[in-house]
């Protein structure tokens, strides 16, 4: 009888260890993958001559990863959009007043910040790269859900949703112009950056 209890106890301990070890290993593996992706983003930004110090590169990398995951947008698409919109310049300001890495307009940012629980402090809010990225990715995510098409969402990101709706359907979904620039950059990113 004693051996039977020992065998059962050993089997029980083995199961307990496996029950905890497998999820921990999976979480650790996922953590390692996220760390690898963040490092690759830092290298990507550095290679693109983003004029940022190491601390800012790492903060941007972390924010891109976290916000992309939260809103279900491929981080490589976000980097492509960032490249086309601002050429990775966190202080970029367009002639239309759009600001930062993802060229977010203040009027949109004010509305989105309120919706996201981000305190609005005027342009300073979107001049902060973290807020700019979170607001831009959230907006892109809303456009993808609204239009059910990445190409159309990119056009709406650039032109605005209302102007995009006024286009004929074939023009709306066409990869010509701005969406094509972003999608070509995205294709390059898919080749050189790891899957999310």
Length of the chain: 196
Mention every residue, 6+ apart, whose C-beta is less than 8 A from residue 120.
Answer: 109, 110, 113, 114
The DSSP letter of residue 11 is H
Residue 85 falls in the annotated catalytic set: yes
Measured over all CA atoms, what is the biggest interatomic distance in the chain, rounded to whole angstroms? Answer: 84
Of 184, 104, 91, which Cα lies nearest the Cα of 140? 104
Contact 57, 178 (CB under 8 A): no
Catalytic residue among 54, 66, 85, 119: 85
CA atoms within 13 A on the CB side of 166: 5
Integer Rg of the chain from CA: 22
Catalytic residue positions, numbered: 85
């Amino acid at each position: 009888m004693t051996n039977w209890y020992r065998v059962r106890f050993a089997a029980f301990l083995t199961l307990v260890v496996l029950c905890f070890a497998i999820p921990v290993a999976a979480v650790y593996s996922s953590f390692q993958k996220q760390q690898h992706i963040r490092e690759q983003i830092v290298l990507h930004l550095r290679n693109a001559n983003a004029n940022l110090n190491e601390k800012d590169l790492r903060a941007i990398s972390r924010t891109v990863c976290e916000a992309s995951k939260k809103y279900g947008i491929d981080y490589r698409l976000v980097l492509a959009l960032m490249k086309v919109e601002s050429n990775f310049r966190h202080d970029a300001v367009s002639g239309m007043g759009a600001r930062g890495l993802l060229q977010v307009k203040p009027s949109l940012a004010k509305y989105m910040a309120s919706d996201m629980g981000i305190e609005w402090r005027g342009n300073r809010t979107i001049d902060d790269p973290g807020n700019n990225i979170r607001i831009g990715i959230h907006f892109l995510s809303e456009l993808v859900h609204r239009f059910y098409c990445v190409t159309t969402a990119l056009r709406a990101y650039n032109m605005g949703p209302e102007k995009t709706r006024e286009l004929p359907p074939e023009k709306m979904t066409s990869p010509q112009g701005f969406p094509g620039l972003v999608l070509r950059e995205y294709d390059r990113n898919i080749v050189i950056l790891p899957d999310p």
